[in-house]
Amino acid sequence: MKSVFKRISCFLLSILLICTVMPFAVSQNYDYLVGEWETSAGDVNLKLNSDQTYELNWTGFPKDEGNWYTEAESDEVCRISFDGNGILNIMAIMYGINDANYHFEALKIDADNFYLVQVYGNYTAYSSPCKLGLTRVGGTQNRTSPKEPITVPEIEDEGDLKEIDVELMREDKPNYQTQINWGWEYFLRLAKDYNHELAKASLIISQSLYDREHFKEKLYNEFGFEDIEYLPSASFYMPGYAFAHKELTVGESTKHVILVAVRGTMEILEWVNDFSSVISGFRPDTEYVNDALQEYIKKIGCTKSDTILYCTGHSYGGAIAQSLAPFAENYVRSDNHCFIYTFAAPNTLVDFLKSREFLNVHNIINDNDCVPFLSPNYMKYGRQWHYNSNDEKFQSSFDSVYSEKGWQASGAKENHDCATYFAMMLRDLPQEKGQEALPYSYISVHCPVDVTVKDLQGNVMVNTKGADVLYENGCNIQVFNDGENKDIFVPSGVLYQVEITGTGEGTMQVKHQSVDVGTNQVRTQNNYPNIAVHPGEQFSLRVDSAQTEDLQLQNITTGETYSGEEAAGSFPWLYIIIAVVVVIVAVEIIALIWLLKKRKKEAKQVEQHG
């Protein structure tokens, strides 16, 4: 009895000790960030939660709270990523930078100072022009960046890129032998940055899935994956797929790369399944693969903090691979730890807004391949990278890969073939097109008013109450609100209704800008100055960031409409033409009525004298 009591006492004492020590163990790499800080324009409070997420609160700057996570890279730098666009917009406003491929790093200077740095493209924390300096409240300001760059931890025995021999399968012909660069260090980079070498490796893996007999052997010998599970057969809503695993030692930590490769259509009977999947947006198929992935990850025994997800597929398999993007949050700490490369993938997504949330998805498309454009009622997750197989610059690559008879662009099969995609990738990088080229909208409202933004179905996305901003779930519109001044950032290419309600007496100033995503240059601008506002008075502005000329601001209460100053000033003749057309049409209608009446009268007279 005493022995049992003693064990229980030791167990409870251990739990107490763990609970006492854990907060210090959890925050030891990041404690220099926690607390009250100040900038040149306002104060910042950073709190580290027990689940390794930061809670961020701004004063002076517009308030934003995001789900942050941290990953220590050294004693000087802590990498930060989060859900939300608040800081991105703040940095864009301050520095004129707005780029989708970003993450944030906290760059430590000393105990009292650090920079919040937006890193994107080829920049590092030390070379980035976008830095927000913070000094601890009561501390001494000293924001001098360290001169020595940080060395990223290397992967033990696996860090060097190496040329590996691969083969591209050719139907009824000898396989095409080539070399590609491969290295596990690809997975220490940002998934949102397109990696052409990783894309080529992904296509080889995707095509190898069609080789049921040798796939596992190729994946192990050519790429070095282990723990391979391969389900080559497919049935209704049950695609063929493979899982594989590689354990990496990175510095003092362990990372687990989990491969998810989904096979495309292989047999005639599978076309029936493909057709059903297109209609359903590939949801049942994706859920089937996700359920199996969940069990596989449990078997491997990795956690969100040490998992890197790598998904790929061709055609139907690419549709499933890209549709796994929303499920990745269950397995990895952020999108930048989930690498997705698809080839010739059909459309799977209904909600345009979500397509911009998963920029770690890279869809490679041949413009002459009809499959990536099915179904037109859907769209794609993430980014789109385009080739055109009719471009003459690819002819030499086609002649090499299709050595027997050269490239023959004779039909849908050739344009959809993996060999065609690989030949183009050997010759050149793809070009990004589509959604990223559209501008976004910026709306500012200056007056004692409340603002509500709704979608076309009348669902509230976000609204303001006084100085507060209330977001609905899934909203990626950003509103900066300091009471009387409201600044609204609307995603590109989407139609919204902005409703304004007066909360006091005043004169309202409204400005709308259509802004280019890549350059931050204003494309069009509409100004609505000096509009009298009374309590309870309502206004609306219909916003389409892809078509932003001559927007009309309407006073719902009085029925009056206001045209943007620049639009009205640039086209005064438009109203004259409209007035002239209306007069001409009215005269013609009156003349036609008079003529009909005259003919009817004449016909009646003829009948009477007949």
Q: Are 74 and 30 in contact (CB under 8 A)?
A: no
Where do runs of H (alpha helix) occur along 166-269? 196-208, 215-218
Query: What is the signed CA dihedral for 271, 273, 277, 279, rounded to 10 degrees?
Result: 70
pLDDT of residue 464: 86
Burial of residue 378 (CB within 10 Å: 0-12, 13-18, 19+) is middle
Quick one: DSSP state of residue 425? H
Q: Residue 174, SS3?
A: strand
**Could you tell me which residues are beta bridge partners of residue 362?**
341, 383
pLDDT mean across residues, the chain? 75
Given a contact cutoff of 8 angstroms between Cβ atoms, the answer to whether 439 and 517 are in contact is yes
**Of 510, 564, 565, the residue nearest 532 (C-alpha):** 510
What pLDDT band is residue 145 in, cutting at 50, 70 and 90? Answer: low
Report, as an integer, the average pLDDT of 46-60: 74
**Would you state the structure tokens that stand for residue 99, as one six-digit string?**
């780029």
The pLDDT tens digits for 390-442 are: 888 888 888 888 765 555 555 556 788 888 899 899 888 888 765 444 556 77
Where does the pLDDT of residue 253 fall: very low under 50, low under 70, confident under 90, or very high at 90 and above?
A: confident
Distance, first Cα to last Cα, the chain = 130
Residue 13 has a pLDDT of 46
Give the DSSP H/E element, type plus range, for residue 400.
Answer: helix 395-401
Question: Coil, helix or strand for 18?
Answer: helix
Residue with tokens 């610059």: 393
- Which strand (E) or helix (H) includes residue 226? strand 226-231
- pLDDT (tens digit per residue) in 334-381: 788 899 999 999 888 655 556 667 888 999 998 888 788 776 567 788
Residue 106 contacts residue 33 (beta carbons within 8 Å): yes
Q: Is the pLDDT of residue 277 over 60?
A: no
Return the structure tokens found at 386.
Answer: 């385009």
Element at 175 (helix H, strand E): strand 173-182
Question: In angstroms, what CA-CA distances link 432 with 178, 384, 393?
Answer: 26, 6, 18
Element (H, E) at 299: helix 283-300
Q: Tell the residue number behind the tokens 């925050």, with chain if given.
A: 27
For 154-168, 204-218, 545-559, which range has the lowest pLDDT when averaged over its residues? Answer: 154-168
**Cβ-count burial 440-465 (b if 16+ within 10 Å, e if not):** bbbbebbbbbbbbbbbeeeeebbbbe
* CA dist., res. 260 & res. 248, Å (int): 17
More confident residue, 465 or 441: 465
Least Cα distance to 289 among 330, 344, 337 occurs for 330
- Looking at residue 225, its pLDDT comes to 94
Q: Residue 39 corresponds to which tokens in the numbers above? A: 């900038």
